[in-house]
Amino acid sequence: MELTQQEKNILLDSIREIKDFPQPGIIFRDITTLLNNKEAFNLLMDFLTKRYQKYNLDYIAGIESRGFIFGAALAHSLGVGFVPIRKKGKLPYTTISEKYSLEYGFSEIEIHIDAFKNENLEHTPKVLLIDDLIATGGTAYAAANLIQKGGATCIEVCFIINLESLKGSKELEKIIPVFNVLDL
């Protein structure tokens, strides 16, 4: 299932580009303009719902913070649970964590230790991981590992925007299926 070129153009036209943010030489893809455009947002969410309705998912996991928006909306549409993947120190209960490297140093993400526990399931929980954008892929790689540590199976990672020149999606595809709505 693919978007038509016209549908892709609707989405692309709804994403604002901000030059030199957060630093010189960077073009920031601002999805807030997609979110407040009801035609574009509904088109995207309807498309994702149709794509994933036959996956028999148990959870959607969203990466902080923009992954929460798309993940929670999609979880609602599919009638499944939502699990937030947060930066270290933001969750109130016992957590498990995964470190990942940044350009200068390391960062860490967490989920609650019982995020994927469901006594009604007779199988390993199936999870879709979602975020707004993939650049180098470090956070997504760590998030996919964290889902595994949490006792679930990450069946695919979905990004609204793939920055092709940074090759994060290609690297991530070596360990898990990746679906990109838009390639830029």
Three-class SS state of 122: coil
Q: What is the mean pLDDT of the chain?
A: 96
Q: How far apart are CA 181 and CA 47, in angstroms?
A: 9
| pLDDT for 102 | 74
Could you tell me the pLDDT band of residue 120, with boundaries at 50, 70 and 90?
confident
What does DSSP assign to residue 15?
A: S
- Residue 105: pLDDT above 80? no
- Residue 103: pLDDT above 70? no
Of the candidates 64, 66, 108, 173, the residue annotated as catalytic is 66
Burial 97-128 (b: 16+ CB within 10 A, else e): ebebeeeeeeeebbbbeebbeeeeeeeebbbb
Q: Is the dihedral of CA 14, 17, 22, 27 positive or negative?
A: positive
Of the candidates 2, 103, 119, 122, the residue annotated as catalytic is 103
Q: What is the pTM of this model?
A: 0.96
The answer to whether residue 86 is catalytic is no
Q: Mean per-residue pLDDT for 144-170?
A: 97
- Residue 160: pLDDT above 70? yes
List of residues 6+ apart from 166 with CB closer than 8 A:
134, 135, 136, 137
Could you tell me the pLDDT band of residue 121, with boundaries at 50, 70 and 90?
confident
- Residue 118: pLDDT above 90? no
Q: What is the pLDDT of residues 38-78, one digit of tens each?
A: 999 999 999 999 999 999 999 999 999 999 999 999 999 99
| pLDDT for 1 | 79
Which string of DSSP letters, residue by residue, matches 130-181?
Answer: EEEEESS-HHHHHHHHHHHHTT-EEEEEEEEEE-GGG-HHHHHTTTS-EEEE
The answer to whether residue 51 is catalytic is no
Q: How far apart are CA 2 and CA 13, in angstroms?
A: 18
